[in-house]
Amino acid sequence: MELRQDGPGALAVDLATDWMGAAVVGLGGKVVASIRRDESLCNTNPEKVVVDLGGLVRPLLAGLENGPRIVAIGVSVPGLVRSEDGHVLEAPALGWRDIPIGRLIREEFEDLNVPVFVGNDADLAASAEHLRGSGRGTSDFICIWGEGGLGAGIVVDGRLLGGSAGYAGEVGHVTIDPDGDLCHCGARGCLESVVGEEALLRRSGRDPLGGTLALEDLIAAANRGDKVALAALAESGRGLGIGIAGLVNIFNPNRVSLGGLYARVYPYVRAPILRELEKRAMPAPRAMVDLVTVRLGSNALLLGAAELALAPLLSDPAIMPLQQEPAPSYANDAPETLTSRASTLLAEG
Ligand SMILES: [Zn+2]
């Protein structure tokens, strides 16, 4: 069955460390149009980022003829997001602290008159992968997402683990080396500071803030058999394996999926990760878990953001606005609605 082209859809936004991206996504996860601009968002002014986003997205929306009607905006941010109102408490990899990104984006797109929902990148990737990608059919699934920072979306018994305010899953800030390097979060020796993008690039002799280009250069060097590149990747794999072994022992997942930069370097980190799992995960949960990479690629974040935005509509189609009326303003609603949203998000998996 073909979904109606002019049905409801979401504007999905991905604010990553090395780019900003956006897509118009219809029901069923159909990407109708997308755009991405590669540029570092590290330590940039959030107000400017949102204005730039407006400049990027306007032509995309203007070019949509007979496309979906945008009924909500979903936003992915690599940081701690308060699910209640889309406030970013902390996005260490972007250098952001206490940013009302949901409100800023709602103001930028005021004319659309639609609600804005903001989620953590790893959580959104895990939701999308659980629904349509590498986590389909699993009850307990973990998606490790690394782009700049490092986090995990954790699905327990079919539901995304949020914690009491939506901050759960910050696996990147679990200490694995008490005397290690200072992390963006202020602590020492976090998993992210040992195996994250910056650590990987630094260890390979590249600019830690070199972003996508430096990473591509590193992968090309590894493909040529460059010993320094291979050793840096193996070290990241080892650290990642230590972290994943802990997650396997705690959550007993059916599957762990690697996304973002870890999907791109998977051929080089797979063996060291598996070695650490053999050494450190308990045999029974270890025997049950598969290690895979994400299937939706970098689209996982946009699809997850779209699902977050459209979930209230899917859970209650009666709130679907009529064509001529402005969209309802059900943004930043009560926590119980958000809980049902998260469960709806995962219910189709
Ligand atoms: Zn940290």
Question: Measured in angstroms, how far is the CA atom of residue 175 from the centroid of ligand 1?
Answer: 8
Question: Measured in angstroms, how far is the CA atom of residue 208 from the centroid of ligand 1?
Answer: 16
pLDDT of residue 18: 86
The residues that bridge with 151 in the sheet, in sequence order, are 145
Question: Measured in angstroms, how far is the CA atom of residue 154 from the centroid of ligand 1?
Answer: 18
Determine the length of the chain: 349
Question: Measured in angstroms, how far is the CA atom of residue 185 from the centroid of ligand 1?
Answer: 4
Regarding beta strands 141-147 and 255-260, do their DSSP bridges make them parallel or antiparallel, or are they unpaired?
parallel
Question: Measured in angstroms, how far is the CA atom of residue 226 from the centroid of ligand 1?
Answer: 30
Q: Which CATH number fits domain 134-293: 3.40.30.10, 3.30.420.40, 3.40.109.10, 3.30.300.130?
A: 3.30.420.40
Question: Measured in angstroms, how far is the CA atom of residue 11 from the centroid of ligand 1?
Answer: 31
Q: Domain limits of the chain?
A: 8-120+298-347, 134-293
Are 8-120+298-347 and 134-293 the same fold in CATH?
yes
Assign residue 137 a region: left if phi > 0, alpha if psi is -120 to 50, beta otherwise?
left
Question: Measured in angstroms, how far is the CA atom of residue 145 from the centroid of ligand 1?
Answer: 15
Q: What three-state secondary structure class fits 110?
A: helix
pLDDT of residue 313: 81
Write out the two tokens for 84.
């209640």
Question: Which residues does 162 contact at the CB level (< 8 Å), separation at least 6?
Answer: 83, 123, 168, 339, 342
pLDDT of residue 2: 46
Question: Measured in angstroms, how far is the CA atom of residue 22 from the centroid of ligand 1?
Answer: 28
Question: Measured in angstroms, how far is the CA atom of residue 229 from the centroid of ligand 1?
Answer: 24
- C-beta of residue 67 within 8 angstroms of C-beta of residue 60: no
- Of the CA atoms within 13 Å of residue 79, those in its CB half-sphere come to 28
- C-beta of residue 75 within 8 angstroms of C-beta of residue 84: no
Q: What three-state secondary structure class fits 318?
A: helix
Q: How many CB atoms lie within 10 A of CB 6?
A: 14
Question: Measured in angstroms, how far is the CA atom of residue 292 from the centroid of ligand 1?
Answer: 25
Nearest to 160 by CA among 134, 133, 124, 136: 124
Question: Measured in angstroms, how far is the CA atom of residue 92 from the centroid of ligand 1?
Answer: 8
Question: Measured in angstroms, how far is the CA atom of residue 144 from the centroid of ligand 1?
Answer: 15
Question: Measured in angstroms, how far is the CA atom of residue 142 from the centroid of ligand 1?
Answer: 19
pLDDT (tens digit, 0 to 9) for every residue of the chain, 349 residues total?
A: 444 567 899 999 999 988 999 999 998 899 999 999 998 888 899 999 999 999 999 999 988 877 789 999 999 999 999 988 899 999 988 899 999 999 999 999 999 999 999 999 999 999 999 999 999 999 999 999 998 889 999 999 999 999 988 889 999 999 999 999 999 889 999 999 999 999 999 999 999 989 889 999 999 999 999 999 999 999 999 999 999 999 999 999 999 999 999 999 999 999 999 999 999 999 999 999 999 999 998 899 999 999 999 988 877 766 655 443 444 443 443 333 333 333 333 333 3
pLDDT of residue 43: 87
pLDDT of residue 319: 61
Question: Measured in angstroms, how far is the CA atom of residue 122 from the centroid of ligand 1?
Answer: 15
Write out the two tokens for 153.
């979306």
Nearest to 246 by CA among 284, 277, 211: 277
**What CATH number belongs to 8-120+298-347?**
3.30.420.40
